[in-house]
């Protein structure tokens, strides 16, 4: 592992390494839990990344796209594993982007009430965000990620070689989350080499997760920009990938923060500049219905005691309850 960067997610006896660098996937056999006789490799048909867990293994293919991030995919995986004879002493390896690690990790968390899982993350979005932290889950028609579990992996391998064939839109999807980290304390990453960008994002997320594993407090800051992003994704009709929606959500959160007096106009401009630097758009998609979007805000997982946003401010990014619907509408209008 010496040629790679290793970031430790410190969770006591459940701590694990995140290994970052070219060829990191080749470390897989060394991080598969000892004693595993078999490994179920979960991936997608279009992911051309071969891995060798060092023990008997079989590949299980899940569907591509958000339509397959659903409970039926979990049942299908678990039944296939049971037919193969996978036991609680074995392990799962999920190879792919955020959808694969979300689905593969959730299935691992419930199969035999939980078996070990290792992630080989193949997208920028997965490497800087989705694969780290132990949140797994699937969508319901009523909302994103409403069914899931906290299930920490045994290790995460972020192989930068797997990013070389990513299409431009997949890069932008990852850059939406990277723009978020700019405002969470990772510093200005715009002129930093790619591998260091990934390491700095992982280090920040690892620190947040170590202090708040189950989103009881500080971890909520990782949802910066996600309230509007999730509403846009749920509402449908908009051709937006997750990172693209997050970029719009970041600018919207800044506009809401401005109207609450938490930040000034210069900070809003900084949000727009960072988003634009990464090739992303910070404007609302045409045809957006403000009534539908505001209704969806109330369904967000953070909306425990009213509509809660994560907003920038004088003490950094924090969860803030916002009850002023007129203010929320005004901020939407500012982005048309």
Catalytic annotation, pick one of 5, 69, 242, 262:
242
Catalytic annotation, pick one of 230, 262, 271, 272:
230
Catalytic annotation, pick one of 38, 205, 272, 301:
205
Residues 6+ apart with CB under 8 A from 266: none
Catalytic annotation, pick one of 219, 271, 272, 301:
219
Active-site residue 113, yes or no? yes
Active-site residue 242, yes or no? yes
Question: In the structure, how many helices (H) and strands (E) does the chain have?
Answer: 11, 11
Catalytic annotation, pick one of 113, 142, 164, 315:
113
Active-site residue 223, yes or no? yes
Can you tell me the distance from the alpha carbon of 288 to that of 298, in angstroms, rounded to the nearest whole number? 17
Q: How far is CA 202 from the centre of its chain?
A: 11
Catalytic annotation, pick one of 135, 144, 301, 302:
135
Can you tell me the distance from the alpha carbon of 240 to that of 228, in angstroms, rounded to the nearest whole number? 12
Active-site residue 14, yes or no? no
Active-site residue 190, yes or no? no
Strand order in the sheet with 91-96: 5-9, 16-21, 155-159, 117-121, 91-96, 38-44, 56-62
Catalytic annotation, pick one of 57, 223, 244, 255:
223
| 77 within 8 A of 104, measured Cβ to Cβ | yes
Nearest to 9 by CA among 210, 175, 162, 208: 210
Catalytic annotation, pick one of 170, 213, 215, 255:
215
Catalytic annotation, pick one of 177, 213, 233, 244:
177
∠198-7-189 over CA atoms, to 5°? 25
Active-site residue 169, yes or no? no
Active-site residue 215, yes or no? yes
| 7 within 8 A of 201, measured Cβ to Cβ | no
Q: What are the residue numbers of the active site?
A: 113, 135, 177, 205, 215, 219, 223, 226, 230, 242
């Amino acid at each position: 592992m010496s040629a790679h960067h290793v970031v430790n997610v410190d969770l006591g006896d459940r701590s694990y390494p995140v290994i970052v660098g070219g060829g990191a996937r080749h470390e897989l056999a060394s991080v598969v839990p000892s004693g595993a006789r078999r490994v179920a490799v979960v991936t997608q048909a279009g992911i051309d990344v071969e891995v060798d867990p060092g023990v008997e293994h079989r590949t299980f293919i899940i569907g591509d796209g958000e339509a397959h991030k659903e409970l039926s995919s979990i049942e299908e995986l678990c039944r296939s594993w049971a037919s193969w004879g996978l036991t609680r002493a074995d392990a799962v390896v999920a190879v792919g982007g955020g959808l694969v690690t979300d689905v593969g990790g959730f299935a691992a968390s419930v199969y035999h009430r939980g078996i070990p899982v290792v992630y080989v993350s193949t997208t920028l979005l997965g490497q800087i965000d989705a694969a780290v932290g132990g949140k797994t889950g699937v969508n319901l028609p009523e909302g994103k990620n409403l069914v899931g579990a906290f299930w920490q992996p045994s290790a995460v391998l972020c192989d930068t070689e797997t990013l070389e064939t990513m299409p431009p839109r997949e890069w932008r999807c990852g850059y939406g989350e990277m723009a978020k980290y700019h405002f969470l304390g990772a510093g200005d990453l715009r002129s930093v080499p790619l591998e260091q960008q990934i390491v700095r994002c992982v280090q920040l997320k690892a620190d947040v997760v170590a202090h708040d594993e189950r989103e009881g407090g500080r971890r909520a800051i990782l949802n910066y920009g996600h309230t509007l992003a999730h509403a846009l994704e749920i509402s449908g009709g908009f051709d937006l990938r997750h990172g693209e929606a997050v970029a719009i959500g970041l600018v919207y959160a800044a506009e809401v923060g401005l109207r609450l007096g938490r930040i000034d106009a210069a900070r809003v401009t900084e949000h727009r500049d960072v988003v634009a630097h990464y090739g992303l758009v910070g404007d609302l998609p045409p045809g957006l219905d403000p009534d539908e979007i505001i209704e969806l805000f109330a369904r967000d997982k953070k909306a425990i005691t009213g509509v809660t946003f994560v907003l920038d401010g004088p003490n950094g990014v924090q969860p803030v309850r916002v009850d002023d619907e007129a203010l929320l509408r005004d901020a939407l209008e500012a982005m048309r």
